[in-house]
Structure 1
Amino acid sequence: MRTFALCFLLLTSLSACGLRPLYGGASSPARAALGSVEVGEIPGRAGYLMRGALEQRLGAAGSTPPRYRLEVELDDQITGFGVRADNAVTRERRTLRARFQLVAADRGTVLLDATAGADAGVDVVSSEYATIAAEDSALENLTQQVADQIVARIALYATRTADEPGEGQAPGAASEGP
């Protein structure tokens, strides 16, 4: 009983502080903004994977005309370290960084300009095929992580701009800068 009372007290205090879910409900500003984002072309294999991951998370299936355009530039690097006595690399770090801009489709105004990134370690083994497969697997995982970061930043932006005084229209519609 004591635990129940403590949980009840904690929950009522959280609701009083204005805490609410980011993706809460079908009519939330974040969900509406995410559904109206068009992802631009991103070159390369990493770009192909990133675009697919973003489109999957945004859920924009062409049901409504896009209000926003997401432009993404990727920097994918593999750095060798962990060198043996014979100068052979035994470990690699794969780094994927993304600079992204959320642009108002009608005006071309940049609403959000930010970066996201993730790193993964790859063991270099005697089999070149196994090393390449590990590098590819790392890239697939990194694109998923970076896509999660990008979508979270867009959702947070949409929620914050919807909460601004005088914001009665779509998230970011009255904003002229990041």
Structure 2
Amino acid sequence: MKRLARLGFLLPIGLTLAGCGLQPMYAGGSHGSVARTLSGIEVGQIAGQQGWLMRNALVDRLGASGHGASRYRLDVLLDDQITGFGIRSNNTVTRERRTLRARFKLIDASNQTVLLDNTAQSDAGIDVVTSEYAVIAAEQTALERLSGEVAEQIVAQVALYARRHPPAE
């Protein structure tokens, strides 16, 4: 009886969701328009250690080789800042915030048209302790994590673009 009551409760919710027009982003699996678009993106070189981390994170998430004859190119410009705050009475910093911001452009490789121009960013807090090594390690770990988070945001925005503008066959 309880199962029937639960089913009676869940059925209207299921029908409501079915009628709302939501569709899976990656419909069609690896042969769907979003997956085809993402795998056809070449990620341009990005300067510096931050760029190396970001490019690797993007290539991993896009499922692309990162080079070769691609339909699209993704150009990324990074801004990495560490700001100190939380000042002690002796004017030493107790806390830092590392912010990684990426401005990215999705470009049609055939005619160099900018299809998508947007930004993504994330930040992380870092405790400043007496060990300089520990602070450097924390800053590096924060950069690695932020690179992954920003890469996920970029791929999500590109996937939304690809969903709204499927490539012509």
Same fold at TM > 0.5: yes
Residue 9 of structure 1 pairs with residue 8 of structure 2: no
TM-score (norm 1): 0.88
Instruction: Choose from 101, 104, 121 the match for 2:105.
Output: 101
Partner of 2:144: 140
Q: Secondary structure at the match of 1:121?
A: strand
Pair 1:48-2:48 in alignment? no
Partner of 2:162: 158
- 1:18 is the counterpart of 2:21: yes
**DSSP-derived class of the 1:110 partner:** strand
**How far off is 1:62 after superposition?**
6.6
Shift of 1:7: 2.1
1:169 maps to which residue? 168
Q: How many residues align?
A: 165
1:47 and 1:62 map into 2 onto residues whose CA distance is 14
Question: How much does 1:36 deviate?
Answer: 0.4
Distance 2:141 2:7 in 1: 45
The CA deviation at 1:6 is: 2.5
List alignment gaps of at least 5 residues for structure 2.
none
Matches of 2:136 and 2:48, distance apart in 1? 17
Deviations 1:29-77 (A, max 9, x none): 2111101000000000110000000000000137983110000000000
| Equivalent position to 2:132, from 121, 128, 135 | 128
Aligned equivalent of 1:85: 89
Q: Percent identity?
A: 55
C-alpha distance in 1, partners of 2:107/2:165?
A: 14
Q: TM-score, normalised by structure 2?
A: 0.92
Deviations 1:55-107 (A, max 9, x none): 00000137983110000000000000000000000100000000000000111
Q: CA deviation at 1:14?
A: 1.5
Shift in CA distance, 88/63, structure 1 to aligned 2, threshold 3 Å: closer
Q: Tell me what 1:39 maps to.
A: 43
Residue segments in structure 1 that go unaligned for 5+ positions in a row:
163-167, 171-178
Name the aligned partner's letter for residue 169 of structure 1. Answer: A
Distance 2:82 2:164 in 1: 36
1-side partners of 2:67 and 2:51: how far apart?
24
* CA spacing shift, 1:111–1:132, aligned 2, 3 Å: same
The SS at the match of 1:120 is strand
Q: Residue type matched to 2:83 in 1? A: T
C-alpha root-mean-square deviation of aligned residues, in Å? 1.6
Moved more, 17-26 or 65-74: 17-26
Give 1:23 shift. 1.5
